[in-house]
Homo-oligomer: A and B are copies of this chain.
Amino acid sequence: MINNQFKKGELYSFITGKASTAIARRLQKNFKETGIEITIEQWSVLYHLWKEDGQSQQQLCEATFRDKPSITRLVDNLEKSKLVKRVASKNDRRSNLIFLTKEAKALEQKTMDVANRTLNEALEGVTNGQIEIAKEVLQMVYDNLK
């Protein structure tokens, strides 16, 4: 019986992810107020493309922890918004490489500023030591289940 003193009332918030839901809503609100017209899901894809442009959809699946249909449709919508382009891979004709447009590149700094600000709002009053431990726990949970 692992962690058997973990009480039910506490269980609920862990499972339902109220904290990350709250962060996501606030980030979306802050994007909107800053005039940034993307969803946080689209932002999470752009985030990985800013780190490395020209990734395949499969790579984006792994990076964003989403399945293939989700990425297909996020890329569809990002393409409609002129933020990315699909380019067929020359090595492997099954594969699309996704490239940022100029418009998307211009968004990077602005959105990262908003994201950092949002995180500061979220973590106000939390010590760095606490954050480190919370981060470790979330990583362990992810590793246990992924």
Interface residues of A (CB under 8 A from B): 1-3, 5-6, 8, 10-27, 40, 44, 47, 64-65, 112, 115-116, 118-126, 128, 130-131, 133-142, 144-146
Contacts and interface: CB of A to CB of B under 8 A. Distances in A.
Contact of A137 (B16, B21, B134, B141): B134
10 contacts: A3-B123, A8-B116, A15-B44, A15-B115, A15-B118, A16-B40, A16-B65, A21-B65, A23-B141, A122-B145
Contact of A130 (B13, B23, B119, B133): B133
A119 B18 contact: no
By CB atoms of chain B within 10 A, which of A124, A126, A136, A141 has the most?
A141
